Structure 1
């Protein structure tokens, strides 16, 4: 059972923001959280869509007790800047992640990534394998996310938002419709509470981010564009990789684990059959245990 102080609520979301800092990057303010001992192994966390680094809150105490952790909000997400007239591109988001890792970690590091973040994670792996980064990636664990575009099962609302009327549809979205759509990707017995949904919606709406959802969904097209490159790092990764997957996820659940096993049977996978798309919030203790097992075997 997760302690109440590490559950996601409007109050804990406010505290998360207060405990972070803003880091300037290319004229934008990026929200950053750090924690852990300076001598601990460095770990970079990459969050998902449409949420933010707040997703890591239920795991934060455990992670920072073991590792030197860096989490941040991608441009357009969470408490980072959300420019309206901007083309949100996964290569740019990867550049941001690489810059923060080099600046704030400053050494070879490990990756733990989720959903939207799996694609920058794959690009970082490709760059690490090419030797184009200042520091190497030592390992990467993927939570639920679109590692293979062909296996990504977009929700109806996502399909509508990337269509020609996406810019209009975002103006019809509200807390109620968000909660109804968002809850569909969680496990049957691990549905988000009203307080969690309130917190998620408040952070998404910060700086008008709820009006940018159609722009942020450009990642679906980016994944198709770079699909071959990012699939290659799953076939021949430059470091140990693993899957930790909530298999009840209708978007990137058990079917994705099966597809990765067919692509590369040497990739270890932890199937969390009672969890959905957000395993780190639905069952933080289970994800911590799986991740510790993965890291222990390196």
Structure 2
């Protein structure tokens, strides 16, 4: 599938007066995919054919990313991206699903998990309520204390972030992206062009300094978002590319320190960097399907005991 085909087969819906690109394909249990920064749901295209054979798969380009609108005067936040996901689920009539997230999407998933837990505790009916059946996370900054941002990310978050956004160019960004991939998993020219097309679409580079504010949000909301993981009753699997300098092996160590031992389900991909679903999609697919298979077996066992 080419990027053009991906776009042509997608659809748009309205969120707060803005066009949001999304894909909805397949049948069966719903699987929601959430992409990372600074790319788009195209990140999942290598997994898409196999996942849509098994599930109804839904993903979108979050506002400010990919083929969705990228308004200049907009208060970008993790909370708003979570609202956006709730909006499309209401639009599509979805209330129960499994989640698979990466990078920035991990943090959005943590907020969605926290909301789900809030409703479970309060037992207060909510017309926008939903049920998360499982959560699978790829490389991302789950813990602000272990996140090691690139210099470019730090500069975007600094007072000169707006200037850095406008000075960003294809050569420098490609170099930065390759630096977080495994040495033998560097992007081909064609792969890079797809990523570059998505980032610059609708003049997206000009708002990079606004999107990057999620790094500050992670620190402010650490108790809520880390707590959602630590206290989760939803089955969670972490699939991690250990060569990732941002959130690789060191993040896994912290994860296993904080998450109860019985719930610490981790699959380490030793020769993979920050983008596991792009660098080694077969390994990610194998690990994810094994996770879902184990859940299915657990559900059948519980039914048998009943």
The answer to whether the superposition gives a TM-score over 0.5 is yes
Q: 1:105 to 1:111 in 2, by over 3 A?
A: farther
Q: Could you say what secondary structure the match of 2:272 adopts?
A: coil
- Structure 2 match to 1:116: 104
- Structure 2 match to 1:26: 16
Q: 1:273 aligns with which of 266, 270, 275?
A: 270
Aligned residues: 286
- Structure 2 match to 1:9: none
Q: Could you say what secondary structure the match of 1:94 adopts?
A: helix
TM-score normalised by structure 1 residue count = 0.94
After superposing on structure 2, the runs of 4+ consecutive aligned residues of structure 1 that deviate more than 2 Å are: none
- Please say which of residues 274-283 and 164-173 is displaced more in the overlay: 164-173
Q: 1:111 to 1:105 in 2, by over 3 A?
A: farther
Confirm whether residue 161 of structure 1 aligns to residue 156 of structure 2. yes
The structure with the larger Rg is 2
CA shift, 1:297, in A, is 1.0
Confirm whether residue 232 of structure 1 aligns to residue 227 of structure 2. yes
Segments of structure 2 that go 5 or more residues without pairing to the other structure are 120-125, 296-306
Counterpart-to-counterpart distance in 2, 1:292 and 1:252: 23
Q: 1:256 aligns with which of 241, 247, 251?
A: 251
- Structure 1 match to 2:293: 296
CA shift, 1:103, in A, is 2.6
- Structure 1 match to 2:145: 150
Counterpart-to-counterpart distance in 1, 2:198 and 2:9: 15
Are the aligned partners of 1:13 and 1:203 in contact in 2 as well (CA < 8 Å)?
no
Confirm whether residue 16 of structure 1 aligns to residue 6 of structure 2. yes
Q: Counterparts of 1:1-298 in structure 2 under 5 Å?
A: 5=1, 12-37=2-27, 40-131=28-119, 133-264=128-259, 265=261, 266-298=263-295
Counterpart-to-counterpart distance in 1, 2:200 and 2:241: 27
CA shift, 1:105, in A, is 4.8
Counterpart-to-counterpart distance in 2, 1:196 and 1:105: 34
Deviations 1:96-122 (A, max 9, x none): 012212332523110000000011100
Counterpart-to-counterpart distance in 2, 1:156 and 1:14: 32
TM-score normalised by structure 2 residue count = 0.91
Counterpart-to-counterpart distance in 2, 1:146 and 1:212: 21
